[in-house]
Chains A and B, each alone.
Chain A
Amino acid sequence: MTRKKRFLIGAALLVGAVTYLVYAGVRESSVYYLTIDEFLHKKATLVDEGVRVAGRVKDGSVAKKTSPTGTELQFVLTDFNKSDGVKVFYTGILPDMFAEGRDVIVEGKYARDGILRAQSVMTSCPSKYEAEADKTGAGGPAS
């Protein structure tokens, strides 16, 4: 029996370690995942928080500035009804699927000055092209 007990102690240690790692991992690296609607609604409470916001790139809002210090990109992430939006600053490589009118997910920090500084901009994975095709079909001129 003691052998079994020893093994169980080892197993319990492992399970404990996994639990702890998962718990600590969640606490340290979780960010709010919001639609732009929700974000705009309570953005005042989100200052300096890590957020991940899903919205649509407003038509005509993308501005790109290339200077010797790098490429800076600005665009407005809007509500799905395109009424209101938040300004996003991003320096980095854009995913290929990024375009005006597309749905994107922006991860970054929302600052007091009302600008969402993005660490990353994601578009939907191409294996979910399905949704993409549907959107272009319904949303705007399909190519």
Chain B
Amino acid sequence: MIDIGSLALALGLVLAAYAVVMSLVGALRRRRDLVASAEHAAYAVWGLTVIAVAYLLQLLVTHDFNVEYVAAYSSSTLPLNYTITALWGGQQGSLLFWLLILTSITSVVLLQNRERNRDLMPYVTAVLMIVSVFFLLMLNFITPPFQRLAFTPAEGRDLNPLLQNYWMQIHPPSLYLGYVGCAVPFAFAMAALITGKLGDVWIRTTRRWTLFAWFFLTLGNLFGAEWAYLVLGWGGYWAWDPVENAAFMPWLTCTALLHSVMIQEKKNMLKVWNMVLVILTFLLTIFGTFLTRSGVISSVHSFTQSGLGPFFIGFLALMSALSIGLLVWRLPLLKSENELDSLISRESTFLFNNLVLVGIAFAVFWGTVFPVISEAVRGVKITVGPPFFNKVNAPLGLILLFLTGVGPLIAWRRAGWKSIQRNLLPPLAVGFVSGVVMVGAGMRSYWALIAFPTGIFVLTGIVMEYYRGVRARQAVVGENPLRALFRLIAKNRRRYGGYIIHVGVVMAFFAITGTSIFKQEKQITVSVGQSFPMGSYTLRYEGIEQQSTPHIDYLRAKVAVLENGKQVDLLKPEKRFYKKPQQPTTEVAIRSTLGADLYTVLGSFDQDTKLATLQVYINPLVSFLWYGGLVMALGTAIVIWPGGVKSREPAYAPRRAGERVVAD
């Protein structure tokens, strides 16, 4: 007997295909009724997906272990919150969850555009539903989530203990929201190409969606990093694993896009480039899902293993061919209406920023797929590890950081020497002086001596911009500084929110520099009572604590943290031994301060000799990454917040434009 979930997915596939065909036919024949019918079908697909998801959740919560998925990823003792997150703990559930987000977003887009963009919408619907069809095909034929077993196991195999973590509850949803969000600008871009309405309507319509996607991609990456940091226990947060790269690449191209659309809006340039970025970002999200779900790269025996691989490759090829074909067909209509005025201008800074971002994305892509390429070309699988990514991306990242500082300070069109003197030189001087101070304080690492002063240069520039904006308002409107600051941001959220995002980016750079250059690491085997120095601390091993529950055996090392001879903390890094499935997990213990994290791991414990092996790290500035992420989120929220004064600076307004803002 067919269950309601499978039925919903089968019906969903039919309706999604129907929506694709009807919206295209409706658009070509100018039949509003068909277009409307297609949209209704799209809503119905959403409803059916909700039913399928609800059904899977019900199976999980009621512990129906006859269902393969439930038996594989949950157990009767798994806490409720993790039972629910088991929805995306495995392959089938993840894909179903992807589809849920995609169809939800599709419905929101349709609702938003009931009265708007009617000429574009049929194609938007068609493109989004093509993606739905793809996921529904997988869910129906390759990875059906509701497969039943021939017998009913008494107990499930449980969710991997490593995934039983707070950050793993919010990391996948954020990332998927980011991934799927990128499909919206893509769909509008395709619609614009097909209809030939290539003005900036599609860009304006999708600006918020691009930001939305970027917001969640940022959070998704950060939550993943936080999870890796807390759970994997190797002292770091980023290892250039293919799965991480998969999430990072679309973030890079999306960041590039957010900057380059500004040039199209203001100067009607870069139309082709923006199309390329939209297409690239979307393809990278699909590629990312593919990398994560199929394990092509990390498994040595290539991807014939899962039927998913060829299917994804096929879809990627199809979408690339379609989108690039459309782009080439419309090239004549995508002529730039302007030219670059000068190399020393904000436009060209943005262009270089774009090149660097795409360059980084390319390097990451190349490093990630290198094993596959080398196998195809030379017959041997060769892999490049983290050193490759660090070597390539460190210089590129620093160029990017520098451009982050230059961009907002340099004039549009052409920056004269006067304006450079006035805007760029002061923060550059501050950065330089900070570098001299750091040398004086004994810092000798070249990388750090480039990264920190550059970051300080960027921050100074931002503070200066705020200061000038506030002063201008005070002079003109006579507000008090706080109110002026508030109004300044409210009146031009896009600009001043953007600056806040930049502050977050600088903080992240500080964290990355701190952890990659000044990290200290020590592995030590200690007996009870033994102490050893670590950074400015002295650590003393105080013995082991053992605890046993029906599900987990605990082994906890007690490590006293002393500073200047006084105990300031007691850390308890822990090893857990889950009994079912039998698997140990490492629970790190961290003493976190703004300056640095003291990160301790219990490596092993020997029952006979009572010796414990500890792995200890000092991670300077790592907390700046998490706070920087918060700052970026805050900045994005300011930019994206609906309503308010929708204001844009005229393209060539004078620089102190605080008051000269005009509404569109």
Interface residues of A (CB under 8 A from B): 3-4, 6-7, 10-11, 14-15, 17-18, 21-22, 24-26, 28-35, 52, 54, 64, 66-71, 91-97, 99, 105, 107, 124-133, 136, 142-143
Contacts and interface: CB of A to CB of B under 8 A. Distances in A.
A7 B233 contact: no
A127 B294 CA distance: 10
A33 B371 contact: yes
Nearest to B524: A70
Nearest to A119: B385
Contacts of B238: none
Contact of A92 (B241, B343, B523, B581): B523
Interface string B360-382: 00110011001100100000111
B359 interface: yes
A133 B157 contact: yes
B359 A18 contact: yes
Contacts of A68: 525, 527, 611
B388 A127 contact: no
Contact of B340 (A4, A32, A124): A4
B474 interface: no
Interface residues of B, number: 73
Interface stretch (B347-355, B457-465, B509-517): B347-355
25 contacts: A3-B343, A10-B352, A15-B355, A18-B359, A25-B387, A26-B370, A28-B387, A30-B382, A30-B388, A33-B300, A69-B525, A70-B524, A91-B523, A92-B523, A92-B603, A93-B523, A96-B585, A96-B586, A97-B162, A99-B583, A125-B243, A127-B243, A128-B299, A129-B73, A129-B90
A67 B611 contact: yes
A16 B486 CA distance: 44
Report, nearest first, the 5 A-B pairs whose CB atoms are least far apart. A18-B359, A33-B381, A66-B606, A29-B387, A33-B383
Contact of A3 (B341, B584, B615): B341
B608 to A, nearest CB: 9
B382 A33 contact: yes
Contact of B380 (A24, A29, A32, A130): A32
B392 A25 contact: yes
A9 B380 CA distance: 37
A126 B615 contact: no
B391 A28 contact: yes
A57 B394 CA distance: 36
A105 B381 CA distance: 14
A94 to B, nearest CB: 8
A96 B292 CA distance: 20
Contacts of B341: 3
Nearest to A66: B606
B580 interface: yes
Interface in B595-629: 601, 603-604, 606, 609, 611, 613, 615
B324 interface: no
A27 to B, nearest CB: 10
B370 A67 contact: no
Given A14-B356, A67-B611, A93-B601, A7 B387 contact: no
Interface of B: 72-73, 89-91, 157, 160-163, 232-234, 241, 243, 292, 295, 298-301, 305, 339-343, 348, 351-352, 355-356, 359, 362-363, 366-367, 370-371, 374, 380-385, 387-389, 391-392, 395-396, 399, 523-525, 527, 580-586, 601, 603-604, 606, 609, 611, 613, 615
B395 A128 contact: no
Contacts of A127: 163, 243, 292
Contacts of B524: 70
Contacts of A95: 232, 234
Contacts of B367: 22, 25-26
A64 B351 CA distance: 55
Q: Which of A31, A34, A64, A93 lies at the interface centre, i.e. has the most chain B CB atoms within 10 A of its CB?
A: A93
Nearest to A71: B613
A29 B382 contact: no
Contacts of B161: 96
A32 B292 CA distance: 22
Nearest to B364: A22
Given A3-B341, A4-B339, A96-B585, A21 B395 contact: yes
Given A54-B300, A66-B606, A93 B233 contact: yes
Contacts of B392: 18, 21-22, 25
Contacts of A15: 355, 359
Given A4-B339, A7-B351, A25-B391, A35 B301 contact: yes
B382 A32 contact: yes
A34 B234 contact: no
B363 A22 contact: yes
A34 B481 CA distance: 64
B603 A93 contact: yes
Given A7-B343, A31-B382, A67 B525 contact: yes
Given A14-B352, A30-B384, A70-B523, A143 B582 contact: yes
A24 B391 contact: yes
A3 B232 contact: no
B339 A3 contact: yes
Contacts of A24: 391
Contact of B160 (A25, A30, A64, A126): A126
Residue of B161, B391, B524 ringed by the most chain A CB atoms within 10 A: B391
B383 A66 contact: no
Contacts of B604: 64, 66, 71, 94
A9 B34 CA distance: 52
Nearest to B602: A93
A137 B265 CA distance: 56
A67 B581 CA distance: 30
